[in-house]
């Protein structure tokens, strides 16, 4: 099994550009989430989804959109990139919601915005 | 809202025992999870406590006290490969992480 696959692994954008970070999982997990990680800030939740067709906002949703049209895919869209969005982005999935369900993380996308 | 507090860094000696603390404030508490992250890597799940008490998994144990809004991760027989960042997390649908504790291990 591939687990959680994130693409691209690295990306450089210019301010104002838009892009989509891809996330796919092959474990038939219902729950998926997106986090960003900045030095000294830990992992901050951007958006999450408890199942196909259902999404909700996390701690830092501004500037990001998500959709969940299938169980497997959970793309994250940056609408108009800003330097403050330079970060490492992690996608995660778990069988269900709840802290007792181990979240499986992808390898991350390292995004730089100039 | 939800918030979790952890020390930013902890240093211990190889072969020793170290405790990483986590205090939380939340309007509806479900349980406390712990994750490990090596530099440049992705977080990996270590343990979960829903009830008070100690959960043991090999060299790692995790403790929870709901009355004190407090938990800790205990690492025994420290090895150099345990050098990493450790995060506590809580929530049900909306899972929030602490800022992480970087564990330094001295030979």
The better pLDDT of the pair A111, A41 is held by A111
Average pLDDT score over chain B: 95
What is the pLDDT, as a whole number, of residue A98? Answer: 84
How many CB atoms lie under 10 A from the CB of residue A35? Answer: 27
Residue A38 in contact with residue A96, Cβ under 8 Å?
no
Task: Tell me what the mean pLDDT of segment B87-94 comes to.
Answer: 93
Task: Tell me what the mean pLDDT of segment A9-32 comes to.
Answer: 97
Q: Is the pLDDT of residue B106 over 80?
A: yes
Percentage of chain B modeled with pLDDT above 70: 100
The tokens of A39 are what? 């030095």
With an 8 Å Cβ cutoff, is A27 touching chain B? no
What is the pLDDT, as a whole number, of residue A45? Answer: 97
pLDDT tens per residue, range B20-35:
999 999 888 899 999 9
Contact B93 A40 (CB under 8 A): no
Q: Report angle CA B43, A64, B1 to the nearest 5 degrees.
A: 65
**Euclidean distance between CA atoms A57 and A1, whole angstroms:** 29
With an 8 Å Cβ cutoff, is B44 touching chain A? yes
Percentage of chain B modeled with pLDDT above 90: 91
Residue B89 in contact with residue B95, Cβ under 8 Å?
yes
With an 8 Å Cβ cutoff, is B45 touching chain A? yes
**Which one of B48, B93, B100 has the shortest CB-CB distance to A48?**
B93
**Three-state SS at B81:** helix
Task: Tell me what the mean pLDDT of segment A59-72 comes to.
Answer: 96
Residue B49 in contact with residue B57, Cβ under 8 Å?
no
With cut-offs at 50, 70 and 90, classify the pLDDT of residue A32.
very high
What is the pLDDT, as a whole number, of residue A100? Answer: 87
**Three-state SS at A84:** helix
Residue B31 in contact with residue B69, Cβ under 8 Å?
no
């Amino acid at each position: 099994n591939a687990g959680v696959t994130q693409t691209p692994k690295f990306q450089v954008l210019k301010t104002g550009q838009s892009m989509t970070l891809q996330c796919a999982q092959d474990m038939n997990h219902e729950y998926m989430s997106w986090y960003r990680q900045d030095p000294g800030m830990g992992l901050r939740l951007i958006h999450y989804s408890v199942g196909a067709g259902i999404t909700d906002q996390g701690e830092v949703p501004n500037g990001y959109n998500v959709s969940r049209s299938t169980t497997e895919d959970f793309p994250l869209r940056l609408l108009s990139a800003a330097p403050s969005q330079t970060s490492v982005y992690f996608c995660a999935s778990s069988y269900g919601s709840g802290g007792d369900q181990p979240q499986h993380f992808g390898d991350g996308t390292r995004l730089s915005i100039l | 809202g939800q918030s979790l507090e952890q020390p930013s860094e902890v240093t211990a000696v190889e072969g020793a025992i170290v405790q990483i603390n986590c205090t939380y404030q939340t309007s509806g508490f479900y349980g406390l999870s712990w994750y490990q992250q090596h530099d440049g890597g992705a977080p990996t799940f270590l343990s979960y406590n829903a009830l008070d008490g100690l959960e043991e998994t090999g060299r790692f144990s995790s403790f929870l006290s709901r009355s004190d809004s407090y938990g800790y991760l205990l690492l025994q027989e420290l090895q150099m490969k345990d050098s990493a960042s450790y995060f506590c997390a809580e929530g049900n649908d909306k899972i929030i992480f602490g800022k992480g504790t970087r564990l330094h291990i001295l030979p």
